[in-house]
Homo-oligomer: A and B are copies of this chain.
Amino acid sequence: MKKTQPKTEKAFLENYDASLYEKPSAAVDIVILTIKSNKLQALIIKRDDYPFKHKWSLIGGFIDINKDQTLEQTAKRKLREKTGVKAPYLEQVITVGNKKRDPRGWSISTVYFALLPYEKVSLQLGTGAADIKWGPCEGDSIKEKLAFDHADLLAVCLDRLRSKVVYTSLPVYLHSENFTLSELQATYEIIMGKPIEKKSFYRRMLASGILEETNEMRKSGRRPAKLYRLVNNKEAHYFTRIIG
C-alpha cells in the first residue's frame, strides 16, 4: 500500500514523523584543559552509571533536544555544570560517528576542547559522576584508562592544541586576567614540550598587539616582572610564522 505523496511543503511537514527513521545517538564530549603543577591536565570524571560504570571518561552527554537549542549550547552547558565557569576558549575539534564506539549502538559525538585557567575552576560533581579530577597529560594520553573511544578523542584534541600553539596565542586562555611573559612562555613550553628562545618569544608577543601592560608587577621571583593582560576582547591571534 503506497502512501500518497504530499502536494506541498506544509502538507509534507504536517505528516512527517521523525520517529520512523532509526537514528544514531548524538552526544557532545568536551576535553577541558588547564595548566596545573606545570603540567597540561585534562578534566575527567568517574562514571556512576552504565555503560562503563566506575570508569574514567571525558565530560559529555547526550544532546537533549528539549533543553538544548544548539550543539554549542550543549557543550557550554556541560562545561559550566562541571567547572562552574564559562571557558574563555572553546573550539569544536571533530565529530566521530560509528557503530562500535558505544556498546549501546550507532552513536556520534561532537568533541570540543576548552582552555581555562586553573585558579578559576571549582570542580562540581553533578549528576552521573562518582568522582571528578584533573589528570596530567603525558604525550598524547593520560594515565587513566578512559571509557568509550575517549582516549582517541583526547589525543585528537591534544594534537590540535599542539599544532596550533606554534602559530597562535591560544595559551593566553590558560592564564587568568594578569600574567607575566615568563609565565606565558612557560605555558607555551609545557604544551610544546620543549624550550623556546626567550628573546624570540618576547619579540613575537609584544609585536602581536594582543597584550597590554598593566601597572602592576609580579613580585614572586627575584626581579619583579611586568604583568600583562589580554587587550579588551581580542580574539585569538594568528601569527604568520611558526615558533619553536
Contacts and interface: CB of A to CB of B under 8 A. Distances in A.
Contact of A23 (B25, B74, B96): B25
A65 B241 contact: no
A207 interface: no
A206 interface: no
A22 interface: yes
9 tightest A-B contacts by CB?
A71-B97, A12-B50, A65-B106, A70-B98, A95-B95, A240-B242, A23-B23, A95-B110, A24-B26
A71 B6 contact: no
B53 A9 contact: yes
A195 to B, nearest CB: 19
B241 A104 contact: no
A94 B33 CA distance: 21
- Interface size class of chain A, counting residues whose CB lies under 8 Å from the partner chain: 35 or more
A161 B45 CA distance: 37
Interface string A17-29: 0110111111000
B95 A71 contact: yes
A105 interface: yes
Contacts of A122: none
A202 interface: no
A63 B74 CA distance: 21
A24 B26 CA distance: 7
In this complex, the member of A21, A65, A92 whose beta carbon has the largest number of chain B beta carbons within 10 angstroms is: A65
A63 B97 contact: yes
Interface string A106-118: 1010100000000
Given A70-B98, A98-B71, A104 B16 contact: yes
29 contacts: A9-B50, A9-B51, A9-B52, A12-B51, A12-B53, A13-B50, A13-B103, A16-B104, A18-B25, A19-B19, A21-B25, A22-B66, A23-B24, A23-B25, A24-B63, A24-B65, A26-B108, A63-B106, A69-B99, A70-B97, A70-B98, A70-B99, A71-B97, A92-B94, A97-B110, A108-B110, A110-B110, A240-B241, A240-B242
